[in-house]
Amino acid sequence: MKLSFRWYGETDPVSLEYISQIPGMRSIVSAVYEVKPGEVWPEESLAKMQAQCAAHGLVFDVVESIPVHEDIKLGRPNRDALLEVYCENIRRCARHGVKCVTYNFMPVFDWTRTQLDKKAPDGSTSLVMYWEQMEGLDPLKDDINLPGWDASYSKEQIRELIRAYGEIGEEGLWENAAYFLQKVIPTAEECGVVMAIHPDDPPYPIFGLPRIITSEKNLDRYLALYDSPSNALCLCTGSLGCAKSNDIPAMVRKYSAAGRIGFMHIRNVQILDDGSFEERAHLSSCGSLDLYEIVRALVETGFDGYVRPDHGRMIWGETGKPGYGLYDRALGATYLNGLFEACEKSLSK
């Protein structure tokens, strides 16, 4: 596996120097953030990122994300032009050494939480989603602005988008996903890039919006839409793992054995009795997921793709982007290194 770390570019309070000091760290996961979805990424930005990473002994070879414009997800008439831009961005990334591109197909909102700084008894804070807080939330009335979301929409635009997704429904979203893959995967194949779809987080409908990348059945369906190693998964254990019905180690084993995982996001969550969830430390005993079984499944199937420790808690007084501080993600990386080394050595005995 190739160990990686997400870095938000020059404005990220976590420096490349610090990231490079994490044992075993190899790759940087980043994106061009200064342009809007649907615009072409300047090659200078990609070249600069590559050089900055190389100066710290790191490789910028994973992009997270090239966002999919809402008009593509909605199948609107301008989608072909937007898909042309999307393909051009894949080509440009590939020219600058990128091997894996993450994206999602979630309508309007990326990941959703109701609180970003829930304090645990030990004083650390983490992201949570509590149904009781969710019930009161209305994206049309409240000023909800979560870090996962594109803050550039006005309330009017959000209202219009929610209405449009209501009209196409789940099956419409599937059709538009199929169309997206038909256009994009051939380009990815030509460029030697693996497209890794991120699951919906959490993996069920939010605010009545359809969500499709949620379960084993739906992942099978998505991968079958275009049967190619370039049409792969970014298997996020914490996203899929907050639905009790998803057996994460079994899913990891199945899709890794089939060569259809490009990227692993590894983190732990605690599912609560009412289906709410809290992000927890990576250690298996801290949450609902068995990280040892997940890593064992990867090692036993010979996984050689990218892995990153996903969302960390805020610990030791660190402040910064919720989920993306240095300390707890670094602890996660070190724990993952330990699990991989142990599983690899016991397999080779």
Nearest residue to ligand DNO, scored by beta-carbon proximity: 65
The residues in 140-169 that bind ligand DNO, with binding defined as CB under 6 A, are 148
Closest contact distance (angstroms) between CB of 231 and ligand DNO is: 15
The residues in 104-123 that bind ligand DNO, with binding defined as CB under 6 A, are 104, 110-111
DSSP 228-287: STTEEEEEEHHHHTTSTT--HHHHHHHHHHTT-EEEEEE-EEEE-TTS-EEEE-SSGGGS
CA distance 71 to 107: 10
Q: Which of 30, 45, 50, 102 binds ligand DNO (CB under 6 A)?
A: 102
CA distance 337 to 24: 8
Q: Does residue 103 belong to the site contacting ligand DNO (CB under 6 A)?
A: yes
Q: Which of 61, 64, 279, 293 binds ligand DNO (CB under 6 A)?
A: 64
Size of the site for ligand DNO (CB under 6 A): 13
- Kindly tell me which of 61 and 296 has the beta carbon lying closer to ligand DNO: 61
Q: Does residue 65 belong to the site contacting ligand DNO (CB under 6 A)?
A: yes
Strands of the chain (E only): list them: 2-6, 27-30, 59-64, 100-104, 115-119, 125-129, 194-198, 231-236, 261-266, 268-271, 277-280, 306-309
- Kindly tell me which of 29 and 299 has the beta carbon lying closer to ligand DNO: 29
Closest contact distance (angstroms) between CB of 311 and ligand DNO is: 6
Work out the number of other CB atoms within 10 angstroms of the CB of residue 110: 16
Pure H helices in 29-130: 43-54, 70-73, 79-95
The 42-61 site mask, x for binding ligand DNO (CB under 6 A), equals --------------------
CA distance 59 to 3: 11
Q: Which position has the token pair 């091997």?
A: 99
Q: Which residues carry out catalysis? A: 198, 236, 265, 310-311, 324
Closest contact distance (angstroms) between CB of 235 and ligand DNO is: 11
Region near ligand DNO per CB under 6 A, out of 12-20, 103-111, 118-126, 187-195:
103-111
Region near ligand DNO per CB under 6 A, out of 98-106, 171-179, 296-304, 337-345:
98-106
What is the SS3 assignment for 83?
helix
Sequence length of the chain is: 349
Please give the single-letter amino acid code of residue 189: E
Region near ligand DNO per CB under 6 A, out of 102-110, 254-262, 271-279, 296-304:
102-110
Residues of this chain that bind ligand DNO (CB under 6 A) = 64-65, 102-104, 110-111, 148, 198, 236, 265, 311, 323
